[in-house]
Structure 1
Amino acid sequence: MTAHANAIYPSLKDRAVFITGGGGGIGASVVQHFAEQGSRIVFVDIDAAGGQRVVEQVMAKGHAAPHFFQCDLRDIEALKATIAKGAEAVGPFTVLVNNAAHDERHPTMDVTVEYWEDRLQVNLRHQFFAAQAIIPMMKAAGGGAIVNFGSSSWHKGQGGMPAYVTAKAGIEALTRSLARDFGPDNIRVNCVVPGWIMTERQIEKWLTPEGEETLMKQQCLKQKLTPADVARMVLWLAADDSRMVTSHNFFVDAGWI
């Protein structure tokens, strides 16, 4: 199949974008793709070295440096302060990408109350509070776009990580609730649901020849998904091209589910 250049969305040029979990994996690709659009980017990650590496990669391609802040998203006050600081740097945010998560496996019978709470904090709670902090900026600007990240894991009935899949299922409900409440303010809220994306972490920890063979049998499209495949969906949902699209899930899974 002939390669084509990626789309450029004029509405994303100079738009202020806040991205969580941008220091690696899918999030790093999202940062890089918004940089290619000429957006003004602030991103956070708990991994300081990873965040700085993404900044350097963006600059090496000739794009303006995004603003990176190290932040543990379990600390909501720190998250709110970082959002405020980021808005001072690039202007009020009209795009929020709630990407950060951690799909650590955990047997059901080993889960403690403390671990359960931690997994919901890492995977769900910060998405709500980031939206709560940025929605007033979007209202003042006359609208905005929120892109949450769900997961195909619970759609497939995956076991071995009950707290993670519970959090990810909740994100889809949160998406629809926010879309309903803030649609009158011209704020769109959608959820991207990635399939098995070949990030470095996934390849290192879980991809086996047997797993890849099964995946190719189950996917309609017989190619491995990359972070860029997801990032391009995020761009479209953030751009004005999708101006009448809200309250829905968008699967980027090659027909896996």
Structure 2
Amino acid sequence: MPYSELLKPIKSFLKCETPDEWVAEAIKPENFTMLLLDHLICELKASQSAMFLIRKYAVDKQSGDALLEWLNPFETYIYKREGNWRDLAAKNKLTKSVVPKSNSPYGQDLIDKMVLLIKEELHHFYQVLEMMDHYTIEYKSITPSRYAKGMLKHVKTHEPNTLIDKLICGAYIEARSCERFAKLAPHVDKKLGDFYISLLRSEARHYQDYLTLAEEIAGQDITERIAYFGEAEAELISSPDADFKFHSGIPLIVKKAG
């Protein structure tokens, strides 16, 4: 496959591949709507997580407020059901320059990588809405999966380890997303499959950006910590899960049937 080279470091980074049972469940027609809805929410959550890191660790209040204003139309559409989704593409831009706090030890590199990530995730968010429109799927609220919470519960509570751990979590979430898009692409129609393939390059870069930031901020070898989260992530992916979502584990109904 043309994207196999792109996936090599992803597969090496992840401690397990997506189980075949999940793929089989994901391509069932009755799960199509949930897959797109959860993908939509994942794109927004990824933007929010990156936004939180910039605001907490790298910028002053004025820049933080400008960032919040950038994200507001997207959150308003999801949480308040207000606005026209077609207007969101024009709103994916910053109105003010973002500068590091003078006392920030993390500075411009964190900002640059996370701002680019947010812009791309919000662009993907809009693209998923276009897909939903194409397939006549209306947005509705869904419950969050166990995945992100299951990763973040392992994050240490003292700095800079909290930040480092969150960046490692971000790397795994992006890497898994990339791997799952590649798993799904051959099994869906061409329009959606092409869309999933188009996401691979940016998702692969996002995982590398998170990992690079974690290593730079740590200033020391964090191989063991990366491996620790890798095992936690693999457990979530390879264990039975009663709730089918984009990042869920082995569907429980399949597990019971086996």
TM-score, length of structure 2 as denominator length: 0.29
More helix by share: 2
More strand by share: 1
Higher relative CO (Cα under 8 Å, sequence separation at least 6) belongs to 2
TM-score, length of structure 1 as denominator length: 0.29
